[in-house]
């Protein structure tokens, strides 16, 4: 416990309290969700008094917003990396992205909860106000993935949303314990892989649709630029 005490703490000054608080918040949000998250407990875990966080964050919400923002950035980074993995065609690149998405949701429930759990079962008073910018990054990344693979504009975007929704749905149902975690054809990753493949194959909706240009064997000529460059923010 108290992850950073002893290691970083050197007396009166913490040294890296901001980071320690973000990490504690990630852990707590993973356990209790962003609504159940509790600032005093985060301070305790960081080994400081409950007033100390106010040196670094305006209030409780600001810390959660920071976690959310970092979550979007990290997810964007991972998706981009998956997409850029060399030697893949459009099919497999998409498959890698899907896998990366599930991995992120599983490995980083704190981030994931901060990013998405606020908007479920709650009227979105402020639809991820601060997170919006970070989400735009993600959306741009997804949209950009599709550019050049298809002449008709609307279709790739719709497909991107479908893949995202399927990934998100599987991730959240799994987290809620409503999906079997193993099973011949029903393990989460298999569900996602087969689903994405089906979406790609059946692309374009009910009646319509040319096939995805590079459906089989197409190798991307140009690596899409990382959308991270716009809002870039390392930690």
SS (H, E, C) 86-120: CCCEHHHHHHHHHHHHHHHHHHCHHHHHHHHHHHC
| Integer angstrom CA distances of residue 214 from 14, 91, 139 | 53, 8, 22
Q: Pick from 13, 51, 86, 122 the residue near its own copies by CB under 8 A.
A: 122
Q: Is 54 an interacting residue with respect to DNA (CB under 7 A)?
A: yes
Residue with tokens 């479920």: 120
> CA 133 to CA 135: how far, in whole Å?
5
Token readout for 202 is: 């059946």
Q: Is 226 an interacting residue with respect to DNA (CB under 7 A)?
A: no
Which residues make Cβ contacts (< 8 Å) with residue 161, sequence separation at least 6?
none
Tell me whether residue 49 or residue 92 sits nearer to DNA (CB atom).
49
CB of 27 to its own copies, least distance (A): 11
Q: Pick from 50, 186, 219, 223 the residue near DNA by CB under 7 A.
A: 50
Q: Which of residues 51-80 bind its own copies (CB under 8 A)?
A: none
> CA 171 to CA 108: how far, in whole Å?
11
The count of other CB atoms within 10 Å of the CB of residue 104 is 22
Q: Is 235 an interacting residue with respect to DNA (CB under 7 A)?
A: no
Q: Is 14 an interacting residue with respect to DNA (CB under 7 A)?
A: yes
Q: Which does 232 bind (CB under 5 to 8 A by kind): DNA, its own copies, none?
A: none
Binding region for DNA (CB under 7 A): 10-15, 17, 37-41, 47-52, 54-56, 59-61
Contacting residues toward its own copies, per CB under 8 A:
29-36, 109-110, 112-114, 116-124, 127-128, 135, 154-155, 157-158, 161-162, 164-170, 172-173, 175-179, 183-186, 190-191, 193-195, 197-206
């Amino acid at each position: 416990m108290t992850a950073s005490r002893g290691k970083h703490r050197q007396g009166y000054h913490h040294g890296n309290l901001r980071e320690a608080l973000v990490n504690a918040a990630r852990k707590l949000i993973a356990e209790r969700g962003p609504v159940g998250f509790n600032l005093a407990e985060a301070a305790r875990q960081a080994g400081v008094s409950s007033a100390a966080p106010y040196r670094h964050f305006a209030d409780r919400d600001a810390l959660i917003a920071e976690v959310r923002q970092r979550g979007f950035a990290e997810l964007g980074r991972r998706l981009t990396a998956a997409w850029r993995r060399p030697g893949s065609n459009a099919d497999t690149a998409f498959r890698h992205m899907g896998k990366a998405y599930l991995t992120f949701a599983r490995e980083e429930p704190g981030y994931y909860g901060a990013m998405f759990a606020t908007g479920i079962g709650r009227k979105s008073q402020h639809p991820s106000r601060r997170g919006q910018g970070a989400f735009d990054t993600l959306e741009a990344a997804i949209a950009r993935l599709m550019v050049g693979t298809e002449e008709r504009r609307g279709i790739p975007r719709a497909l991107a949303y479908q893949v995202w929704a399927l990934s998100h749905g599987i991730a959240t149902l799994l987290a809620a314990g409503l999906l079997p975690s193993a099973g011949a054809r029903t393990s989460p990753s298999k569900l996602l892989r087969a689903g994405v493949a089906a979406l790609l194959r059946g692309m374009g909706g009910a009646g319509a649709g040319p096939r995805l240009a590079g459906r089989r064997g197409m190798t991307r000529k140009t690596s899409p630029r990382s959308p991270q460059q716009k809002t870039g923010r390392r930690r």
